[in-house]
Structure 1
């Protein structure tokens, strides 16, 4: 995931430090790495990785907790202390798009997020930090995702697709048997219980047969088409 954001970099020049503000494109992973290595730049917390929304606190503390409208304002989300008094909490669950409010509790004291410039003033006159999701946040996971009892979740991302079908040896390559359901933010999804053994499959997206980009176990079949391989655990039933 890549984002456009404003950072402040401090340059050591003769006579002191000078701040130059500019816009740049930097991956969210690079931001996370820069925080953990204590590089000197400012950013607006929280920021988004593919697999989570990362909240950050920097400072001396014994405990740092997070609470917001996304968890019923319960101060139960515990930050993990990294190096150089850097604290991190990563939200790894789905979150609806829109404006969200939150606060931090540092050693038992409620504060707004000092690393965020976004806030509202509540009815008591206190600052409440905010951030906005432009679309539903759905954490990145490797799919097909095994749940239990050989039930798998198949997911496919394409915000421009009108119809996504799952085809494979398990449904005799019928492009009409197993449609995926649109679940929002460009994602299509379905669940299916699979029999043990190796299965080959792909997707049919608006009539075009394409491999599952989330599954890198692929091979070329006898027609030259790229298909995916899924290994389902369990004992094979004798014929």
Structure 2
């Protein structure tokens, strides 16, 4: 027979494990730009359950199929864009079992707008002359 304290301890351990299992997903990192000569390689990362993930923006004429993310394992997806210096507005197109939808990039805090005031994610690619680019 178990004591009341032992049952309470087991319940607390189960709750702790549940919180750890559901609340500790590693967030996606912000876009990272690397340079090869004058070419910028911008790495985007998405974390979430999906069948497919695409980027749709100024850099691909808003055609998501031109910029598919690659599944890196589990719920982690990556896409490397080769971009010239400039500003690029974009959204993520996420396909799930039931539907697909457009989202702001949760890993990128930079925001812009379209002509109608709709919020868009924003990439700023510098000219490669400073460490901030």
Identify whether the pair has TM-score above 0.5, normalized to the shorter chain.
yes
What secondary structure sits across from 1:182 in the alignment?
A: strand
Matches within 5 A, 1:130-209: 142-149=29-36, 150-159=40-49, 161-206=50-95, 207-209=100-102
- TM normalised by structure 2 equals 0.66
State whether structure 2 residue 127 is matched by structure 1 residue 212: no
The C-alpha deviation readout for 1:144-202, integer Å capped at 9, x for no partner, is 1123332111111122x112111111111112211111111111111121111211111
What secondary structure sits across from 2:59 in the alignment?
A: helix
CA shift at 1:25, angstroms? Answer: 4.1
Query: Relative contact order (C-alpha < 8 Å, sep 6+): which is higher?
Result: 2
8 Å CA contact 1:210–1:226 kept in 2: the answer is no
Q: Where do 5+ consecutive residues of structure 2 fail to align?
A: 1-7, 129-133
Equivalenced residues, count? 107
Specify which structure has the higher proportion of helix: 2
CA 1:49–1:189: 2 relative to 1, 3 Å: closer
The worse-fitting range, judged by mean Cα deviation, of 223-232 and 188-197 is 223-232
CA RMSD, Structure 1 to Structure 2 (Å): 2.7
Runs of 4+ in 1 over 6 A off after TM superposition: none
Q: Where do 5+ consecutive residues of structure 1 fail to align?
A: 1-19, 29-47, 51-139
- The structure with the largest alpha-carbon Rg is 1
